[in-house]
Amino acid sequence: MRHGLSVPCFGTGVDAELVAAWAAAAESAGWDGFFLWDHLFAFAAGPVDAVDPWIALAAAACATERIRLGILVTPLPRRRPLVVARQSVTLDRLSHGRLVLGVGTGAGPYEWDYCGEQADPAVRGDMLDEHLEVLARLWTGEPVRHQGRHYRAAGPDWSAVCYPPPVQQPRIPVWVGGSWPGTRPFRRAARWDGVVPMRPDGRWEVADTAAVAARMAELRAPDAPPFDLAVPGETAGGDPARQQRYAEHAAAGATWWVEAVHPWRYGWTDDWTSAGEPRTGWPLAAMRERIEAGP
């Protein structure tokens, strides 16, 4: 099993330079993957720094040589296929074939309804499926003509050619995120290269890993290509029991452990003074310490 980190794209003091430093520290500490969230706004009131994940990961690619880089997850329904094709291939080539593209439908009205985006989650699911279909074709570098319900890349005598193709072949790995237990996200994930499950209602357990692994085995053909199951978790850097936790999830079918390094696990709260200042600072030192402790 490989081990990755999941970090927010927002927080006081978080910018592209810091993300690059985190990624370099993760690589030095022995992590196998460094994954950034993709949100327009922080999960907090008041002014909180936020960074564009694509630009930040480009900085991380320039600061590292080995570690896998990716977004977990990007809500494709609010991005255009032709733009994502250019961004993802540019990042894959810049990193010499180290990109993983995590995708999902997104959630939260403040990034959808309130911004004039599609509010219906079911429609966003349709958009995601169509987007992925177009994106995979664009990655080939061959001419693409597409006139779908939600996206278009076609003219009277014109096709879209997004050249060059990515370094990774047959495509950049696509991991699909979804809340467990669920149905549609996992059917979708089975058609791609990996799944990133989560439980909004609590801690991820070994039984959850085993259940998702069994579900993927049901949905995928026996001779299908290798498939990644990236499970979420939190461990302390100095806790010797963490290796046992990794082993238990690996035995249940996980191929990646994704360590969530976020401020809430270190006591940060969304609590502001009457003067508009946070009562508790963003725990950058504690987050950096967990990164440097390694898997």
pLDDT value at residue 116? 85
CA distances to 2, 123, 243, 251, 253 from 259, rounded to whole Å, are: 11, 31, 13, 18, 17
pLDDT, the chain, mean: 94
Do 19 and 36 contact (CB within 8 A), yes or no?
yes
Residue 75: which H helix or E strand, with range? strand 68-75
User: Residue 9 pLDDT more than 90?
Assistant: yes
Confidence of residue 275 (pLDDT cuts 50, 70, 90): low
User: Residue 85 pLDDT more than 80?
Assistant: yes
How many Cβ atoms from other residues are within 10 Å of residue 202's Cβ? 7
pLDDT value at residue 201? 84
pLDDT tens, 140-169?
Answer: 999 999 999 999 999 999 999 999 999 999
> In residues, how long is the chain?
295
Block residue for tokens 């049901």: 218
Mean pLDDT throughout 254-277? 83
Q: What percent of the chain has pLDDT over 70?
A: 97
pLDDT value at residue 276? 60
pLDDT value at residue 272? 65
User: Residue 230 pLDDT more than 90?
Assistant: yes
Tokens found for residue 86: 């250019």
Region of poorest pLDDT, from 21-30, 82-91, 277-286: 277-286
pLDDT tens, 128-145?
Answer: 999 999 999 999 999 999
User: Residue 278 pLDDT more than 80?
Assistant: no
Confidence of residue 17 (pLDDT cuts 50, 70, 90): very high
Q: What percent of the chain has pLDDT over 90?
A: 83
Mean pLDDT throughout 268-279? 66
Tokens found for residue 165: 């193709």
Cα(229)–Cα(218) distance, rounded to whole angstroms? 14
Cα(59)–Cα(158) distance, rounded to whole angstroms? 34
pLDDT value at residue 202? 78
Domain count, the chain: 1
Q: Pick from 204, 295, 289, 240: which is nearest to 22 by CA?
A: 289
Q: What percent of the residues of the chain are helix, what percent strand, and what percent coil, each to the nearest 5?
A: 40, 20, 40
- For residue 155, how far is the Cα from the chain centroid? 33
Range of the domain at 126: 2-293
Tokens found for residue 203: 């801690």
Tokens found for residue 282: 């963003």
Mean pLDDT throughout 32-42? 95
Which CATH number covers residue 161?
3.20.20.30
Q: Pick from 216, 217, 178, 218: which is nearest to 198 by CA?
A: 178
